[in-house]
Each structure stands twice: as C-alpha cells, then as structure tokens.
Amino acid sequence: MLDQSRLMENWIGLKTLTRKEVVRVLRIWPQTLVPPVITTTLYYIIFGNIVGSKIDKAGGMGDISYMEFIVPGLVMMAVISNSYANVVSSFFGSKFQRNVEELLVSPLSNAVILLGYMAGGMVRALLVGAAVLIVSLFFTEGLVVSSIWITASVALLTSMLFTIGGFINAMLATKFDDVSIVPTFVLTPLTYLGGVFYSINLLPEFWQNVSRANPIVYMVNAFRYGILKGRLDEKYIDINIVTAYVVIMLFIVVLFSAALHMLNRGVGIRQ
Amino acid sequence: MTRALEIENLTKTYRNGTEALKGIDLNVEAGEFFGLLGPNGAGKSTAIGIVMSLVNKSAGTVRVFGVDTDEDVAGAKRYLGLVPQEFNFNQFEGVRQILDQQAGFYGLPRRLARQRSEHYLKKLELWDKRDTMSRQLSGGMKRRLMIARAMVHEPKLLILDEPTAGVDIEIRRSTWALMQEFNEAGTTVILTTHYLEEAESLCKRIAIINHGRIVEDTDTKDLLSKLQIETFVFDLASPMESVPDLGAYHTRLADPMMLEVDVSKGESLNEIFSALSDQNIQVLSMRNKANRLEELFVQMVQNGDGESSENATGPDGARRGGHA
C-alpha cells in the first residue's frame, strides 16, 4: 500500500516535471522550435537543391535523389542537437537559478527527476524532427517513410540518448561556457562526420573503420534505413540495423546509469 | 510524542577542509516555534541544508518525525517545507505555475494541487498576481511566494532561513503573523534570523550555533534570565545637552531626547526616577530596550570566539565572522 502511494507520488511528480519542461519548450518556441527548422531548410536548399542537383546528374545515390538521401540525416541532426541542447540548458539554468532545489527538497526519486528532464528534451527533439521532416516534403517528390516503426523508434531512442548526455553535461557544468563546449567541439563534428551528407562506404577503408567508432553513424544510418528501406541501394547501407539498435541501447543504458549515479551522489548539485 | 527533528552528532567538512559542523545535537519538539541563531558562517545554513537534503553530511543522524533520512529520505522530505534565504524560484515562470508544480513534485494530484495553490496564494495575498511572471513581483511579494510554495504541500515542519532579511517592517510583521498562524495550526516552525527581536518575540526555544557547535539550546525565557543587565530607554520631555549623573547607574544619551540607563538585575527602578526628579528631568515614557537577546547573543558569540578561529572561512573561502 505504502509502495503504491509512493509510486503514485512519483508518477504525479514525473507528469508535473514533464509538463513543466514541455511548457518551457513551448513558451520559448522562437528559441527552441523555429531556429532548427530554419537551419535545416537552408541545408535542404543549399546541399539538397543546389549541390544535390549536380550530384544527381553525376549518377546520384542509386535509385534515390541526393536530397532524399540527406533528409534522414538532417532530421537526425536536428533531433540530436535539440535533445541535447534542451536538457543541458534547462537543467543548467535550474542549477544556476537554484530552482533545482524545488526538486531536490521534494520526495521525488532521482530517477524521476532524470526521466522528467529527458521527457522534456525528447518532446522538443521529436517536435523539431517532425517539423524538419514535414519541411522536407517541399523539397522532395513525396518522401515516403518505408517503416514507421523503425523511423519512430530510432528517433525516440536517439533523442533519449542525447537528453541523458545533455543532463550529464549540465550536472558537470559550472559556468555557461561549459554548456556549449560539448555541442560545439564534440557533437557537431561527430554529426557532420556521422554520414549525414555521405555514405561512409564512399570513404577509404581506414576512414570507414574510424567512422564506425562514431556512435552517430549508427543512428543516422538506422533512421535512414527506416525511411528509405527497400529503396536505398545496398551499397549505401553502412550499418546493419540490428547492430545499430544494440549500439544505441547500450549507450542509453550506460549513460542513464552514469547520470543516475551522479545524481545520487549529488555531483554538481549538492555540496 | 515524536520529535519533529532530532539531530545527533551531525558533522560536515567541506572539500576545502572547512569544518562547518563539528558534531551538533539538536532536538525540536513537535509543535514548537524554534529559533536557530548564529553569526554568518556559523553553520546554520549548512545544518538546514543537510536536513533538507541540499547538502551531503559527513557524519551523524537526522530524523524528521522519527524518519531517519539515511533510511527513508523521501519519507522524511514529505514532512518538510523550506523557505530559503535567497529567491530560488524560476524567474520566468508564473506565480501559480510555481505553486502548482511544487505541489505536483510532492505527489499532489493536479486538482488538489490547483486548490492548494489557490488557497495559499489567497492567504499570502498573491492571488491577483497568479498569472504574473515571478521576476515581476516586488521583493515582499517574492518572499511571500516562497512561503506559499513551502506551504503548498502542508508540511509538518516548516523551516524558514532568514525569511524577513531585507524586507520592510510592514512585510516583516505580516510574515511574523503568518508564521505564528501556521504554528498555531500545528506546524512546527524552525526559524533562523538575524533579527534577534524577531526570535525573542516568536520563538519559545532558541539554540545558538557558533563555529559549528551549539553553544546554547534552551527556553527563550531561561536564556533571557541569564542577562545580568537590562537597558531602559527614557523618552524625555525636553532635550538634554549632557549626560545626567544618576549615581551608580550607567547612563548615556542615544539622542538629546532619549536617555538610556543600564540596570543590573535586582536593582530598583525607583531610585532612577528619584534621581531624575531631583534633577528636574521630565520623562514622557519608558520602555525596555528591545535588544536583550542581542546583547546576550553577542556575549555568547564573543565568548565562543576565544575558541579556535582556524575555520573562520566558509566553503567559498569567504571570511566569516561579523555578528547578527
């Protein structure tokens, strides 16, 4: 009975924290939702239309246009950067303003606090991802999602993973500079080199192997597989879909455990 | 009867080596209005931080209504409400949103949370501001918002860390009335304050903490009875240029219209009036100077200062010291 009441208490707390985070995303929509859509639209215009038309004339990506090839990668790029950015800025902001204490003094479990922030980041990432996907319809001749389940699950898992990354970054951050270091010097290079604009099979073997150490390659490829399955030439499928799921889930388990451990120890939030 | 708070041998050593708490013991009975006093950096906020799970303790035990925070921290937290010293709500959230959320974090279903936040916003006279962004509130309103937020889940033990610091007298008085009302309704209240007049008039029991140790923990009345000298203030009918000679009594002029006289315990006031009459000094009114506790506090802290001062810096390296 007691455990049930605690479960209910935590469930209500999780809903409350998720609502708080979603309200934040929607309240500052010109900062959270619009810019990624504009940036990605520019990618569609420059890389898809202008550069892509030349690539298509030179043989393209098999049966699909270059634009269709880069759409999944650009959606993933938006999902990754927005899930990370949302949690890192929201949780660090709470630390900075000290309103994280509202959560720390409450009976909510640390897992619920982590899940609440993750949920907020995932909502933003998926909203942005959906918007970017819808915009792509203006640049493709009717983009068809081949497997809704693979597409949706990869987007969900990827956003989950990077919200945890953002949370860990926010816990360790002591100043605003620390919030932008990882996105600028780690995430952006890994994303650009993660097969968004090209198939890693086009690289020399050495760089193909190096690329396989980049976890973003697995997410971009799995998402591309979900959208273009059956239409994408075999030689442009860089990663086996099962391997991709295993890698993504492994990262989620490891990062979630690390974040929870840090939260239990009060790293960055308790003296 | 279960105690509201039991602290045993609580110690806290910060990473820089500062010993903020050196093994304090403290008991607060259920229903009490308890004052925790001490100079800046004495360890008050550290002790409160540990009770509220905002600071990790180094050793010791904390029990809230019998619930050990090491065994069931969530269970202990459910009894607690905190009004912190600094404004720590989200400056970009609305007043009602802050209260609704806090209630939700304590597991109150949305409908009940909304009812509670309405109740406490009305009680704290913030209902008209419910849709206002919190950063747009005045200083006094922000203080009241923090009290409403701490009460929205109706804690059994309310801890207020200098709730009236820097607010005008009107807000201070209304805050006192609220704290008394909560206490009379059954909420145990622990108050830390720099205003000793506040502690003297509100708290039934007072503990004084200095250099991480409890140096006094007793009834306010017993504490005040330790005072050997009291100061009486005489408002004069006409201004005086020099301090009158009242024999054995130590006198001084606070201003030309106000004479202060120190009276030792057991001494009669009649002789003062006789001396004043002899010198044709007309007195309009007389009152006890409201700093009795302050004098005692300063004495105790100064006595304690004889102790080691190697830990006189806080965790941030800032110099401690000063007084209330």
pLDDT digits (tens, 9 = 90+) for A109-139: 999 999 999 999 999 999 999 999 999 988 8
| Predicted confidence (pLDDT) per residue in A202-245, tens digit | 888 899 889 999 999 999 999 999 998 877 777 777 788 999 99
Percent over 90 (pLDDT), chain A = 68
Three-state SS at B192: strand
Sequence-distant (6+) residues with CB within 8 A of A184 are none
Q: Which amino acid is at B14?
A: Y
The ipTM value here is 0.89
In a domain, B288, yes or no: no
B53 CA to chain A: closest CA distance, Å?
6
B34 within 8 A of B192, measured Cβ to Cβ: no
Does residue B290 sit within a domain?
no
Domain contains A63: no
Between A85-94, B35-44, B95-104, the lowest mean confidence (pLDDT) is in: B35-44
B22 token code pair: 């050196």
Quick one: pLDDT band at residue B293, thresholds 50, 70, 90?
Answer: low
The verdict on residue A97 lying in a domain is yes
The packing angle between helices B95-105 and B110-123, to 10°, is 130
Higher pLDDT, B165 or A187: A187
Where does residue B208 rank: exposed (0-12), middle (13-18), buried (19+ CB within 10 A)? Answer: buried
pLDDT for res A190: 92
Whether B105 sits inside 8 A of A98 (CB atoms) is no
Question: Which candidate, A193, A183, A202, places its Cα nearest to that of A220?
Answer: A193
* Phi, psi for A102 (deg, rounded to 5): -60, -35
Q: pLDDT-derived band of residue A92, with 50, 70 and 90 as boundaries? A: very high
- Count of H-run helices and E-run strands, chain A: 13, 0
What domain range is B60 assigned to? 3-224
Q: What are phi and psi of B67, to 5 degrees?
A: -95, 120
Of A23, A97, A106, the CB nearest to B105: A106
pLDDT at B324 over 90: no
Residue A40 and residue A26: Cα distance in Å, rounded?
A: 20
Tokens of B108: 């109150």
How much is the pLDDT for B295?
Answer: 65
**A62 found inside a domain:** no
The pLDDT of residue A114 is 98
pLDDT of B85-132, one tens digit each?
889 999 999 999 999 999 999 999 999 999 999 999 999 999 999 999
B302 band by pLDDT with thresholds 50, 70 and 90: low
User: How many structural domains is chain B composed of?
Assistant: 1
Q: Is B132 within a domain?
A: yes
Chain A environment of B73 (Cβ under 8 Å)? 107
Residue A191 lies in a domain: yes
Q: Give A5's contacts in chain B (Cβ within 8 Å).
A: 107
pLDDT, average across residues B3-22 = 94
From A117, A126, A214, select the one nearest A166 (Cα to Cα): A117
Q: How many domains does chain A have?
A: 1
Tell me, yes or no, whether B178 lies in a domain.
yes
A271 in a domain, yes or no? no
Task: Region of A59 please: left (phi>0), alpha (psi -120 to 50) or beta.
Answer: left
Q: Could you say which of A12, A102, A107 has the minimum Cβ distance to residue B109?
A: A12
In a domain, A241, yes or no: yes
Q: How many C-beta atoms lie closer than 10 Å to residue A189's C-beta? A: 12
Does the residue B136 lie in any domain? Answer: yes
* pLDDT tens column, B194-205: 777 788 889 999
Kindly state whether residue B234 falls inside one of the protein's structural domains.
no
What CATH number does the domain containing B123 carry? 3.40.50.300
B313 has a pLDDT exceeding 80: no
> pLDDT at position B314, please?
36
Amino acid at A165: G
Q: Which domain holds residue A91?
A: 2-56+68-265
Residue B163 belongs to a domain: yes
Which pair of structure tokens corresponds to residue A80?
């990754």
Contacts of B220-229 with CB under 8 Å at 24 or more apart are: B220/B35, B220/B293, B223/B293, B223/B296, B224/B200, B224/B292, B224/B293, B224/B296, B226/B296, B227/B265, B227/B292, B227/B295, B227/B296, B228/B264, B228/B265, B229/B262, B229/B263, B229/B264, B229/B265, B229/B295
Q: Which residues of B touch A (CB under 8 A)?
A: 14, 49, 52-56, 73-75, 77-78, 80, 82, 84, 86, 88-93, 97, 100-102, 104-110, 113, 149, 315
